[in-house]
Structure 1
């Protein structure tokens, strides 16, 4: 049986574990990627049993670590702490964003639509791509109700649900995992603002071309109605205060779960104080965040052997240049969940950029390795971050909000592209060239 070396946490000794222990991680990601695309009966089984599958696969890995790996309990404890921090932020943002409802009367012109998407892209960095998508997708549909088309939904996914959230750890789950592993909060804002602006502007220009043609085909009477003044109303504005509390909590010291307690406290207060009418108008439920919570228990647990393998053998993969990390992390993020993809490629960058390999896996050692990587090869962190966030828009399954937006649009009567229609008509001919050119400009 193939073996891989695992550096234990507490003593630095090396234990041997079977390489097949990486299989639960690969299987779980494969199921997450393919089950939503299966026939209704199979999909229904997955929707019913995914918590059992995710937790079961995680327990298989955890049991082996406890039973056979020296210091395995410490590895599991660190992983559990990281998961709790991750789900506290994602869950708190989801609940608080669900208490904000934007009401729109009137219709939109192409210029207003571009401005709306741009605002959504900026907002994604403060409340996350999931929060921004949930707050803005229904107003977006209402704003364009006379001529809502598939491309309106697709570009919303491109801009608000993915590319927009590339500047802060709050913006997209992969980046928060990077923050937990030692990437400073404002590091990306300092280093990728140019790439973000160029990519965002290119997408907005492409959208404007589509939307201008759609607007020009409207009857003159409807076009005049679209140019009438719009009226906006915001309900649940007190939740902006709770969003501020959550953002401030990110900067609290990692001591006795203070950061997570403040985040979850803000979420509980938001849920209890938000009027029920606002939640009803947003069709708020805990279903999506429950799915994320269960799946990521499995992802965090099963990912441990994969990270340890990369720690020991990452230098053998031959990844040296930033474009390779950008397209490789992006390619996997397009078809798998982008959060675990990011973590694994960040680990690969740490090991490949160092002269050593492996070592202890304590949180302090992890932070030190990331800080060294930021000092020596910052372009690799940029490449992995942008690849994971940007390419999550390539398919419906690349990032969590994508399917959520698709589902909300379908429930509102909007005809959205099929899985392969999304890729064939929009991702490959529009998004991929933009991401490739921007990657070549900034990472070449």
Structure 2
């Protein structure tokens, strides 16, 4: 798959800065609208597909009429979007067919083991899939002493930081894979950083949970783990999950990879008993929202990527820590997938400027800029990847699963903090120091 930013500027046509407005506007709407008063929020819930597609079409029309080679850029953008949504949709569908009932062992040790397993699982079925599979068992096993911090640390670990090792783990990393970052490159380069982050977050959670556990009356403590039993339903979906993971390595030609993923998703949906879907409260609403919003994001993102290629050096970003904190800051309040793509493109422009001869020597090689980036400035890729994934946990809107987990918890009776309460009570005092430490130590 050709890297679309190169196509966007192959003709040398200048990308007008004003053409980025639809992209910025769409991201702002995604961030702000769910937080508005009920009437406005209701309007957005029923109109967001038209808004997202409408803004995307504005950019598409301009590219077709005013940008030489714009049609080719649009075609490759749609191809990339199709690959992206097939993976996310397939993982979501298969996860919806797996139901786990956990024996209620909500001791501090049992809880950190559960979260650690969730962090690993996120790299195999994605943060969205792991969140949807595990949030209800997590709430049930902690039902006797359930607090908001249980849900928030679940978001920190399972819905975000856990999925930093593989392209399946988090949507930004899959986009990197589509653009030429090898599947196992990240796990080889960031495993120790990932282990440190997960370990530190778990340590903070353990301290908070241990304190709360000690305050629980001994009579209540003795009840923990007595009423529930272990149960796993939907085992056939593990086979479909393996098919999807295997499909990631198939050739991209003729959409073979995507066809296999969709076939696995269909097989999972129709073979899963209705009782399992009912217990998981499964429906296609969340993935429908992702599909429409990301269709708009991919289309409106084209001029932003083209502009970054043409003007990226003017931003003066040179050091990995700058990329880490800048990508992280935007990923906290905007969707982390487009944030990742934009900063990866910025890193590509940096290495092209620093190594013009090496870049020219690669000629028309597929994903030439990414290959050069991985060889000469690997820390930039690490910084963008970790910034996009880790900082997605800073707010409810930093990553897709965050809001879904919040909604499920509230429907189960958990009093969750407000948007700013989440940040002030948890993200800033607990998560940010850990992420800042990582930036200081490794980047």
Match of 1:328 in 2: 326
Residue deviations 1:170-200, cap 9 Å, x none? 0000000000000000000000001000000
Match of 1:15 in 2: 13
Would the aligned equivalents of 1:341 and 1:388 in 2 still touch at CA under 8 Å? yes
Runs of 4+ in 1 over 4 A off after TM superposition: 227-230, 356-360, 363-366
Shift of residue 352, structure 1, vs aligned partner: 1.3
Residue deviations 1:248-294, cap 9 Å, x none? 00000011000000000000000000000000000001000000000
Aligned-partner SS, 1:355: helix
Shift of residue 219, structure 1, vs aligned partner: 1.1
Would the aligned equivalents of 2:102 and 2:231 in 1 still touch at CA under 8 Å? yes
Question: In the alignment, which of 49, 52, 61 is matched to residue 50 of structure 2?
Answer: 52
Question: In the alignment, which of 120, 128, 131 is matched to residue 130 of structure 1?
Answer: 128
| Matching of residues 120-269 of structure 1 within 5 Å | 120-226=118-224, 228=226, 231-269=229-267
Match of 2:270 in 1: 272
Structure 1: gaps spanning 5 or more residues: 1-5
Q: Distance in 2 between matches of 1:7 and 1:120?
A: 35
Shift of residue 103, structure 1, vs aligned partner: 1.2
Shift of residue 346, structure 1, vs aligned partner: 0.2
Shift of residue 209, structure 1, vs aligned partner: 0.5
Residue deviations 1:128-163, cap 9 Å, x none? 000000000000000000000010000000000000
Would the aligned equivalents of 2:98 and 2:237 in 1 still touch at CA under 8 Å? yes
Aligned-partner SS, 1:25: helix
Shift of residue 229, structure 1, vs aligned partner: 8.8
Would the aligned equivalents of 1:183 and 1:370 in 2 still touch at CA under 8 Å? yes
Residue deviations 1:101-142, cap 9 Å, x none? 001243411100000000000000000000000000000000
Would the aligned equivalents of 1:107 and 1:146 in 2 still touch at CA under 8 Å? no
Would the aligned equivalents of 1:37 and 1:43 in 2 still touch at CA under 8 Å? yes
* TM-score (norm: length of structure 1): 0.95
Judged with a 3 Å threshold, the aligned counterparts in structure 2 of structure 1 residues 8 and 109 are, in CA distance, closer, same or farther, namely closer
User: Comparing 218-227 with 267-276, which one deviates more in the overlay?
Assistant: 218-227
Aligned-partner SS, 1:234: strand
Would the aligned equivalents of 2:324 and 2:384 in 1 still touch at CA under 8 Å? yes
Would the aligned equivalents of 2:351 and 2:372 in 1 still touch at CA under 8 Å? no
Residue deviations 1:35-79, cap 9 Å, x none? 011001000001110000000000000001111111110000000
| Matching of residues 64-103 of structure 1 within 5 Å | 64-103=62-101
Match of 1:3 in 2: none
Judged with a 3 Å threshold, the aligned counterparts in structure 2 of structure 1 residues 202 and 17 are, in CA distance, closer, same or farther, namely closer
* TM-score (norm: length of structure 2): 0.95
Would the aligned equivalents of 1:8 and 1:14 in 2 still touch at CA under 8 Å? no
Aligned-partner SS, 2:232: strand
Judged with a 3 Å threshold, the aligned counterparts in structure 2 of structure 1 residues 153 and 71 are, in CA distance, closer, same or farther, namely same
Structure 2: gaps spanning 5 or more residues: none
| Matching of residues 349-364 of structure 1 within 5 Å | 349-355=347-353
Shift of residue 355, structure 1, vs aligned partner: 2.0
Judged with a 3 Å threshold, the aligned counterparts in structure 2 of structure 1 residues 7 and 227 are, in CA distance, closer, same or farther, namely closer
Q: Distance in 2 between matches of 1:348 and 1:88?
A: 27
Q: Distance in 1 between matches of 2:302 and 2:422?
A: 33
Aligned-partner SS, 2:13: strand
Match of 1:290 in 2: 288
User: Comparing 230-239 with 275-284, which one deviates more in the overlay?
Assistant: 230-239
Aligned-partner SS, 1:256: helix
Would the aligned equivalents of 1:7 and 1:14 in 2 still touch at CA under 8 Å? no
Judged with a 3 Å threshold, the aligned counterparts in structure 2 of structure 1 residues 269 and 323 are, in CA distance, closer, same or farther, namely same
Judged with a 3 Å threshold, the aligned counterparts in structure 2 of structure 1 residues 79 and 39 are, in CA distance, closer, same or farther, namely same
